[in-house]
Structure 1
Amino acid sequence: MRRLALFHLETLLWIARLGTFRAAAERLNTTQPAISARVREMEEQLGVALFRKEGRGVVLTAKGRELVRDCEPLFAGFERALLKASDFAGATGVVRVGAGEIAAATCLPGFVNAVEQDLPGVSLEIEIDLTARMLQQVQTGRSDLVFLAGPVASPGLVTAPIGAVALVWVASPETAKAGFDAPLPVWTLPTNSPIHGAMRESLAANGMAARGIATCNNVRLLIEIVRGGRGAAVLPEPMVRADLASGALVEVLPRPAREVRFEAAIRAREEDPLILELFRRARTLRI
């Protein structure tokens, strides 16, 4: 009978977190058959079933839950001790990072460069997405660290504010010359975006109406649409700063009173020392 090793416990903890053998295999950069083999080895060694099938996924048995509860802090403490001894210089692994377009265009490049320089054994997998989806991803453990448009209130997350971005009303010079006495043609992000809410608040504050509100979930595409003379939009100032400086876009209304605030977030139950270290670094960022 084979003795259990640390990779067996790591496998157990990731299956428990992600809910399927397939997801754990992806997270650990191995195959689903390899994950299944590790589970069989654990169950044979311990003489108990750790998982039972439920639908397309698996759930822990009572013994499995007990083992996870006992082993999770021990495994995290072991990793923490090793990483602390090397001042994290020997850290290795893959960390999945989620970010919105605004964070990706502002603070994320510097963060990535610092991680690559200080922690060369750590690989970052970055996914650009909307806040609502990133929230779901980090809560289920499919993302490790996310940069969200906030404020975010969730008992399952630990968050840290990292700054705010001003918003501006912009249009092409040709659109601006046409004047805005008539209702505006407006482009914006979807309704679940704080920028959409800021746009509506700003129109109301200026006593204006839109001639129709079209949505697009990609900020860079919105910039191209507005630059092409298709209407006006409320956009993050850092992402149109170069276009404003060059004259490709101009400001057409007073800036919205609301800024978009950003937060870094991880799971409240996160114990992986590497992810905790990256969160410590992320909370020092400023957009």
Structure 2
Amino acid sequence: MRKLAIYHLETLLWIARLGTFRAAADRLGTTQPAISARVREIESQLGVTLFRRDGRGVSLTARGRQLVQDCEPLLAGFERALMQAGDFAGATGVVRIGVGEIVAASCLPQFVGAVSRDLPGVTLEIELDLTARMLQQVLAGARDMVFLAGPVASPGVRTVPIGAVGLRWLAAPELAQGDPFATPPALWSIGSHSPIHTALLRAVEDGLPCRSINICNNIRAMIGIVAAGAGVALFPEAMVSDAVAQGLLVEVHAPPVQKIPFEAAIRAGEQDPVILELFRRAGDLQLG
């Protein structure tokens, strides 16, 4: 009978994290039949059933949960020791990152460039999304690390601040002539779950004139809309410096005092040494 190897334990942990044999196979760069064979080998060697079929996915049995809890820190420690010995130069794997539009347009290129240079064996899968969805994705294990508009208050994640972004009320130059709020204008905001939208609503509640509140979940598209004279918007500074410098947008109201903080986040119990190293690097970023 074959002895259990490191890759058996790695297979077990990724199935437990992702919930299906297929997802674990994709993560480990192998096939679903190979994953099934590894599970059979583990169960045969130990003489216990580790997984229970649950619709299209699988769930751990009580013995399986205990094995995962015991093995995860051991495997992570082993991998971390090997990688630290080589200064992470030999790190490999696929890391799935979720990022919002603001981070993508500011400090993400610097982060990706450094990872590509220092950890050439690590592949990044980057997807743009909204904060609310990204938080759920990292909690569910569908994303390894995400960059969120904060502050994030969830016991299931561990966060590190990466800076804050100021906000500016901007409109097209022709709309800014005189008092742009003499006749209540249409206001534009990004998604209703964004803290920027919350800041806009707070300003309206405090008396800022408003004819209507329109939503556009893409900041670059919203820059074009507002520059065409469609209204006034509350923009993050990190996204509008070029448009302001070119004279496409001008300031029409005093900016909010409060800035929007941003954070990198991983699962609270994350053990993967590569993800932990990227999280450590994320803490060195400065947004804005």
Normalised by the length of structure 1, the TM-score is: 0.95
The CA distance in 2 between the partners of 1:118 and 1:230, in whole Å, is 45
Matched residue of 2:90: which SS?
A: coil
The CA distance in 2 between the partners of 1:281 and 1:208, in whole Å, is 41
1:174, distance to aligned residue in structure 2 (A): 2.3
CA contact (8 A) 1:168 1:251 kept: yes
Structure 1 stretches of 5 or more lacking a match? Answer: none
> How much is the aligned-residue C-alpha RMSD, in angstroms?
1.4
Give the residue type in structure 2 aligned to 1:272. Answer: D
Deviations 1:16-71 (A, max 9, x none): 11111122122222232222222122222222211011232211112211211111
Structure-2 residue corresponding to 1:197: 198
Deviations 1:148-180 (A, max 9, x none): 100001111111111100101111112223732
Structure-1 residue corresponding to 2:225: 225
1:254, distance to aligned residue in structure 2 (A): 1.1
The CA distance in 1 between the partners of 2:89 and 2:197, in whole Å, is 43
Give the residue type in structure 2 aligned to 1:9. Answer: L
Give the residue type in structure 1 aligned to 2:189. Answer: T
1:98 lines up with 2:98 in the alignment: yes
Query: Where in structure 2 are the equivalents of 1:234-273 lying within 5 Å?
Result: 234-273=234-273
1:154 lines up with 2:150 in the alignment: no
Structure 2 stretches of 5 or more lacking a match? Answer: none
Give the residue type in structure 2 aligned to 1:169. Answer: W
The count of residues paired between Structure 1 and Structure 2 equals: 286
Identity %: 65
The CA distance in 2 between the partners of 1:257 and 1:226, in whole Å, is 22
Query: Where in structure 2 are the equivalents of 1:99-138 lying within 5 Å?
Result: 99-138=99-138
Structure-1 residue corresponding to 2:174: 174
Give the residue type in structure 1 aligned to 2:41. Answer: E
Matched residue of 1:113: which SS?
A: helix
1:198, distance to aligned residue in structure 2 (A): 0.9
Which stretch of the first structure deviates more once superposed, 40-49 or 266-275?
40-49
Structure-1 residue corresponding to 2:49: 49
Normalised by the length of structure 2, the TM-score is: 0.95
Give the residue type in structure 1 aligned to 2:127. Answer: E
Which stretch of the first structure deviates more once superposed, 42-51 or 29-38?
29-38
Deviations 1:169-227 (A, max 9, x none): 1111122237320111111112211000111222344x323111111211111112112
CA contact (8 A) 2:181 2:209 kept: no
CA contact (8 A) 1:202 1:257 kept: no
CA contact (8 A) 1:199 1:256 kept: no
The CA distance in 2 between the partners of 1:26 and 1:171, in whole Å, is 47
The CA distance in 1 between the partners of 2:258 and 2:220, in whole Å, is 21
The CA distance in 1 between the partners of 2:251 and 2:177, in whole Å, is 12
Give the residue type in structure 2 aligned to 1:221. Answer: A
The CA distance in 2 between the partners of 1:172 and 1:86, in whole Å, is 54
CA contact (8 A) 2:185 2:212 kept: yes
Query: Where in structure 2 are the equivalents of 1:77-96 lying within 5 Å?
Result: 77-96=77-96
CA contact (8 A) 1:116 1:122 kept: yes
The CA distance in 1 between the partners of 2:142 and 2:110, in whole Å, is 23
CA contact (8 A) 2:91 2:122 kept: yes
1:286 lines up with 2:258 in the alignment: no
Deviations 1:106-142 (A, max 9, x none): 1111111111111111111111110111101111111
CA contact (8 A) 2:149 2:263 kept: yes
The CA distance in 2 between the partners of 1:245 and 1:113, in whole Å, is 27
Give the residue type in structure 1 aligned to 2:51. Answer: F
Deviations 1:78-104 (A, max 9, x none): 101110110111111111111111111
